[in-house]
Amino acid sequence: MMMLVNCSSCRTPLQLPSGARSIRCAICRAVTHIADPRSLPPPSSTWPATPPPPPAATFGPSHYAPTPPSAHGRKKAVICGISYRYSRHELKGCINDAKCMKYLLINRFHFPESSIIMLTEEETDPFKRPTKHNIRMAIYWLVQGCQPGDSLVFHYSGHGSQQRNYNGDEVDGYDETLLPLDFETQGMIVDDEINETLVRPLPRGARLHALIDACHSGTVLDLPYLCRMGRTGQYVWEDHRPRSGVWKGTNGGEAISISGCDDNQTSADTSALSRITSTGAMTFCFIQAIERGAGTTYGNLLNAMRTTIRNTDVGSGGGPVSSLLTMLLTGDSGGGGLTQEPQLTSNEMFDVYSKPFYL
């Protein structure tokens, strides 16, 4: 019989095998020792109202994995960059995306570096590689102990896909998915799971921003409302609540996703925009919009990102990029417009031109 215990350091729930007296946490590597159950008082019939806060983040010797930052920190982020190196699925810009996003969060939005978990193939710690298990555990850490006033960021740069939905909860009949490093053996992470673990626990007063640079990512958080914006900047909110009535919103908090493209579109991995190195088009355009001061409202931010992708005069050096991106995205060099349009989804509808953007 399995017993559920909390890690003594980061409070992650761990399944203790029957008869075991200690267990090592897969997240922070701390060892939790279990007392002899005969010496413990009888278990209470109710959970405590408030779990004890975990200890503050500390860093030990270099041969030990760092203890994750406090789950009650004001700003926390999980950043995933997956290049699928040495495979036929290889991407060039995703690790660059992760590094750039970390720099932006620290230097522009004042996220403590100790409150950011990076998952990339460059990480030497096996628990910081972007496998399905590690991404799941990082998401759990991100929302664990979330309190009013907290600001959470989940950034993902990698492959995205779709699979047939059979319960009728998707408007287009497909679930959106993220592809971890080991997806070929462990499977994909489906939007239903992302919604359940990342969105629904958010308490009132907390906010989450998901920045998803992947194909088919428009509704990958399964949020109830999608902002359908035209090229002139006019918009309407589409209702994506499932017909089954299952609630896909939060527990009172705020969840907003900015993704690289619509569910039926692909997202570019290219050097055409930065002119220096490969990046995801969505991540580059998001950072550029922020740096150029366009991140005042959600509407201005989304318009600036879309303009950068389709503009014929982007970047510090200028020059045409639309035809190149069209070939990358559609395989068509004859024009006809880009198929990648960044999308905005939310747990609630709002005026995108009056609501300030901030992390």
Cβ neighbours for 98, distance < 8 A, ≥ 6 positions apart: 79, 80, 81, 118, 119, 120, 155, 157
Tell the burial category of 73 from Cβ atoms under 10 Å away from its Cβ (0-12, 13-18, 19+).
buried
Selecting among 80, 215, 261, 285, the annotated active-site residue is 215
Catalytic member of 25, 28, 159, 227:
159
Residue 208: which region, alpha, beta or left (left: phi > 0; alpha: psi -120 to 50)? beta
C-beta separation of 229 from 276 below 8 A: no
Does residue 341 contact residue 261 with C-beta atoms inside 8 Å?
Answer: yes
Q: Is position 215 annotated as part of the catalytic site?
A: yes
Six token digits for residue 65: 């994995």
Q: Which residues are catalytic?
A: 159, 215
